[in-house]
Structure formats: C-alpha cells, structure tokens
Structure 1
Amino acid sequence: MSCISFGFSLLLASILFYAPNASAQADQRPATHIDSMRAARKGPPVYVPATFTFRSGKQVRSYVEQYQRFYVDRIPCYESSPAQIPPPPLKAVSIDRLKSMSVEGHELETLYVKGKPLRVMTENMAAPGPLEIFGYAITKSNMPIPIPLPGAVLVIPTGTHDKDYWYVRQAGGELQEVPRSGKQFADFMSKAFAAQPALAARIRQRSEGAEFKDMPALVKEYNEHIAGE
C-alpha cells in the first residue's frame, strides 16, 4: 500500500470514529465552515442556566444570555445550551407568563400592583428583613432643544437618562409603588419607616441622603436597625 493510500485510510477511519451519531443530530442543522468561523471570531456565547417557574407552576430549565437585575416585557433565552455549533435559535418568553426565575443564586419575581402585572421581573434588593424593595429603570430621551433656522427649526437631542421606579413590600403585605415627588414621597416613606422614628423624621424633613434616589440605602438602613433591636 502506498503512503498516500495509507494516509487516506487513516483519515477516513478518524472521520468515521469521531462522527456524531446521526440520530442524535437529526433535528439539528449540521455546522458549516461559516458557523465555525463565526464561533472562532465571536468566542463562546455568554450564557447562564436558569429555571423559569410559570404561573401554572410548571418549571422549565433554560439559558439566559447573562444575569440581569431586572427584565422588562420579555426575557431572551435559549431552550438548550448555546455553546453548541451552530447555536440554537434565541427565543423570548413573555414575563406575563412567568411567576419567577432562578438564576445564579438570584430569585427574581414578576411584579404585580393591585393585581395588575407590570410586565417587569426583578429581585428583592434588600437584605433579609421586614421591608423588601424592588426596582427597575427605563432609559428615556432628554428634552430636545429646538434651534430656529431661517425657514426651519432644527431639533437637537440632548441625550438620554435612566428613570428609576421603586416598589416596596412589608412582610405579608402588598407591593406598593414609591411616589417620586417630594411631599408624597416623604408622607409615604415616613409611614413605611414608622417603626424607626429617627429614620422616619429624616424622611419627613427631606434630609440629604433621604430622598427617592436613595431608596435602596434607606431600606437597607431600616432593616439593619430592625434586626439590631
């Protein structure tokens, strides 16, 4: 046998030995050279395993591209590991169908206020304690600036900003949205912090560091005081 024939035989044997089982791959498109090139260029996809609990109680294991503190409207996910080549199609599950999600040691839940779904899933940001806090942010455009020109008006966007939303829940109680305006915020949160008079007084006085934007720190302080009693 010539060297060329012998080498070809070894190559053929290697291909047959390492070839994937045809029945196991029947439902997958075979990887192409383009798939391999894309995978090499992008590197392995970022994903983490997650468990969805649907409102029916059914649990489904999936993969999300990465952990986030909150999700709005839908959660992009994979039904199987995206580490394979070619990767499975990226899908999305509506938050309205979900009760909760467990991912990387975090427990996120779908938010409801007075029985109305907010189409938001997030987690309690507070340490264990009597008061829970949930929040999310939506990116909004800043006010555009109109510049008059001869015969026209040029509108220049001034950028974007994140608008925060905070919700609190007493143990065993209902989720409530925290008002953002000064007086309404002071009235609402001073009542929520009534078990800690000094903290409630700071809220009523609208002291520095006791405003809407400080909500996570304020709830943390409240729970720590309660735990230390």
Structure 2
Amino acid sequence: MFHKEGYKIILISTIIIGVGIILIENFVSINWLNKLLAVSLLLFYIIILQFFRNPKRNTTLNDSAIIAPVDGKVVVIEEVFEKEYFNDQRIQVSIFMSPLNVHVTRYPVSGLVKFSKYHPGKFLVAWHPKSSEENERTTVVIENKTYGDVLYRQIAGALAKRIVNYAKPNMQVIQGEDAGFIKFGSRVDLFLPLNTKIKVNLNDKVKGGIQTIAEI
C-alpha cells in the first residue's frame, strides 16, 4: 500500500524506468553494462516504492497517551522554552526519520486542531539543533481533553523539499490517523506538558501510530 502523496511520482518513475529498460535492451550491446544499468534502474525504482509505502497501523485510542507521530529514532528528550505558541517551558521529544523510514505523519492525540501554520525556511540537516526553528516546517497544536494543548512540528531536512500537512484549524482529528507526509528525510518534534511521563529513551526506534511516547 502506498501513500497518496506518492502516486504521481510512482507513476512517472514507472514510465521512466520502463522506457529506460527498453532503451538499455535495444541500444546497450555490452552485456555487463546492460545488466548493470538495468539493475541500477530497478534499485532506484525499489527505493522510490519503499519511500512512499504506507503500512496499515491499528491504533488503540488512548486519551492518556501520546503516540509516536512518525517512524524513526528518538534524538532529543529535553525541557525547552517553546516560543512560537506556548511561550513557556515544555518537554521536547524529537524523532528523526531517515530516507528508509516510513514518512507518513500521524496525529499523536485526538482532539480539536487549534493552530496550524506553515513556515518557509532553510534545509539544515534534520538533526541540527536549530532545524526546529530555522528549517521549513509546519506547527500544529491539538487540544486534547486529557493533555490540554499538544504541539507537534514537521521539519524538513537536507533532502526533504516538501512538507504535506492535512491539519486545518477547527478540524476534529483522531489519534493515529493520517496527518500528512514529509518527502525524503526529516524530523518531527513534540512539545508536551512538564507533568508528562516520557516512555521512551534517546536512540529508541519508534513506530508511528502504535508506540506510546508519553503518558499523563
């Protein structure tokens, strides 16, 4: 199953790969070079397909839990001052996605979208300390009946050149549902209340829509 954001790219890639293989078979007579070029095209096609994969995740709804919004590795757990929306201290949990991870973003909690804003910016590597404030990004705040306001931020990385965000103000959203997509390497930050109990450790690998990140 593939994400809808990849349909156009997959279709174009299929055509290009198909035409490329036909041209290689007809115009490259050196056997080893013929096979090398064909295998290279197929490997490129496989990379495109795996990047846009969208595995089904069965989320167990839980208003007392924050679930991972994406697949990836936990690279930050720290108390910070969040200055875009809250203007106070929050616990930041950041998850880095490599190009090999599933890049679907899922809602970490259910509730009402109170804030959703896109920021143009730089394309620093996603693990850079300033990427959360200087890179192209979207900020979304969901009002949850247990946690209050929970903020998550999609951040473009050095390779990611497009962030897709489905969250719009006044939308009612459900934990674990599709919230968007980030193309080709990126990061998502969560900003949580200080009384949150974090359930992951640095360098843990997490699965979006399934794994609990924190509890109240």
TM-score between the two structures when normalised by the length of structure 1: 0.23
- Bigger radius of gyration among the two: 1
Could you say which structure has the higher helix fraction?
A: 1
